[in-house]
């Protein structure tokens, strides 16, 4: 139901984020005959749009990221997904126990349930060439893209657990892996450090930062480094640069306390419900072992079905109270 002025637009469930998790949640919500709204700030597809080729999604031996995004969007629309382009600014629970979702365009949407699938973003180095060669040698996901670098020489940038773990993982494909950290000491766990430092394919480069990522028509060809102690510069020939300097979940939209880990990832139960009743989370912003397309859509399937049951139970309780 749509209202004008300062009144609210009311739905059964509001899905925030139009990546794989959001599109899957919209599709299942439609199948469940729920009046659902999906809000996405840009084109639907999320990180799929930043991925050139996908080879680890069941049913597709190889598919372009943007093509899979289009297929997922079309599938959601077939089941009645209502998709609007806007930026969500806040999610807040009202006195009536339901949610107000406010957007940048001045809209307020209202629903008893929200599925937050806003994902997150890998932290960037912010250097020349990084954006230009994203998907053409620059990557933020070893599991997604490692197989494209069989026999290559690549660089991994970072000093935490993710960088150490992914550098070791990438040795199954690459012939040589440079592990580059801006400091002498790594932040990652002692066990992961031991595995990476002792691996014959990994060469550790300390006290250096990547200043520029270079390339050409075929993609990435090398990087420029600066020594943080001496200031000396050097060149390193690589065909891939994997950047692991942190990941920021988009959980700041939630107004009010919710359970989360030290990095801000949302804690859910097995139904994908957060510690805020009626607020569900799915995909990359949720605490979990790995962040893949398959895990995102799995989360979303559970969340959408759980919302359907949650709304049915809520309706039963209201009916019982009303007849008492």
Exactly one of 24, 100, 144, 299 is catalytic; which is it? 144
Q: How many residues does the chain have?
A: 324
Least confident of 239-243, 272-276, 291-295, 308-312: 291-295
Helix boundaries (H) for 36-119: 65-78
Segments of 17-65 assigned E as strands:
36-40, 53-54, 63-64
Bridge partner list, 216 = 219
Q: Give yes or no: 24 in active site.
A: no
**9-122+247-323 matches 138-243 in fold:** yes
pLDDT for 129-141, tens place per residue? 999 999 899 999 8
Q: What is the pLDDT of residue 324?
A: 61
What does DSSP assign to residue 292?
A: -
Q: Looking at the predicted structure, is the pLDDT value of residue 51 above 50?
A: yes
Does the annotation count 141 as an active-site position? yes
50: confidence class by pLDDT, cuts 50, 70, 90: low
With beta carbons less than 8 A apart as the criterion, state whether 147 and 63 touch.
no
Which pLDDT score, from 0 to 100, does residue 53 have? 75
Q: Are 276 and 312 in contact (CB under 8 A)?
A: no
What tens digit of pLDDT does each residue of 150-209 get? Answer: 999 999 999 988 899 899 999 999 999 999 999 999 998 899 999 999 999 999 999 999
Beta bridge partners of 116: 16, 281
Catalytic choice (141, 211, 259, 299)? 141
Q: Which band of pLDDT confidence, cut at 50, 70 and 90, is reported for residue 276?
A: very high
Judge residue 213's burial from the number of C-beta atoms within 10 Å of its C-beta, 0-12 exposed, 13-18 middle, 19 or more buried. buried
**Average pLDDT of the residues in 65-73:** 94
CA distance 28 to 170: 35
pLDDT at 317: 83
Which is the CATH superfamily of the domain at 9-122+247-323? FAD/NAD(P)-binding domain (3.50.50.60)
| Domain boundaries defined on the chain | 9-122+247-323, 138-243
Catalytic residue check, 145: yes
CATH for 138-243, options being 3.30.1360.20, 3.40.50.2300, 1.10.1740.10, 3.50.50.60: 3.50.50.60
pLDDT for the residue numbered 77: 94
With 90 as the cut, is the pLDDT of residue 8 above it? no
Q: Which residues pair with 266 in a beta bridge?
A: 260, 286
Instruction: Indicate the pLDDT class of residue 1, thresholds 50, 70 and 90.
Output: very low
Alpha helix (H) residue ranges in the chain? 20-31, 65-78, 142-145, 161-170, 190-197, 293-323
- Given 145, 161, 259, 261, the catalytic residue: 145
pTM over 0.75: no
Q: Report whether 27 contacts 47 (CB < 8 A).
A: no
């Amino acid at each position: 139901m749509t209202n004008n002025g300062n009144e609210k637009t009311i739905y059964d469930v509001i899905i925030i984020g139009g990546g794989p998790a959001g599109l899957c949640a919209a599709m299942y919500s439609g199948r469940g005959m729920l009046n659902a709204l999906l809000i996405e700030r840009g084109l639907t597809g999320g990180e799929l749009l930043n991925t050139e080729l996908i080879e680890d999604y069941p049913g597709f031996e190889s598919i372009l990221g943007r093509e899979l995004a289009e297929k997922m969007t079309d599938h959601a629309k077939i089941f009645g997904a209502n998709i609007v382009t806007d930026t969500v600014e806040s999610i807040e629970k009202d006195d009536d126990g339901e949610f107000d979702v406010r957007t940048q365009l001045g809209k307020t949407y209202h629903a008893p349930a929200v599925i937050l699938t806003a994902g997150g973003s890998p932290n960037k180095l912010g250097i020349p060439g990084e954006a230009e060669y994203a998907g053409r040698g620059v990557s933020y996901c070893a599991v997604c893209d490692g197989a494209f670098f069989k026999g290559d020489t690549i660089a991994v940038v970072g000093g935490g657990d993710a960088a150490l773990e992914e550098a070791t993982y990438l040795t199954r494909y690459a012939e040589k892996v440079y592990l580059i950290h801006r400091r002498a000491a790594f932040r990652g766990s002692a066990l992961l450090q031991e595995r990476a430092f002792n691996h014959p394919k990994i060469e550790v480069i300390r006290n250096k930062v990547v200043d520029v990522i270079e390339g050409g028509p075929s993609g990435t060809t090398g990087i420029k480094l600066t020594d943080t102690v001496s200031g000396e510069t050097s060149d390193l020939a690589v065909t891939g640069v994997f950047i692991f300097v942190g990941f920021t979940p988009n959980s700041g939209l939630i107004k009010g306390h919710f359970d989360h880990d030290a990095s801000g990832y949302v804690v859910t139960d097995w139904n994908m419900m957060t510690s805020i009743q009626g607020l569900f989370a799915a995909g990359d912003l949720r605490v979990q072992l790995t962040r893949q397309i398959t895990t995102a859509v799995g989360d979303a399937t559970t969340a959408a079905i759980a919302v359907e049951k949650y709304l049915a139970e809520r309706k039963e309780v209201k009916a019982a109270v009303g007849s008492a």
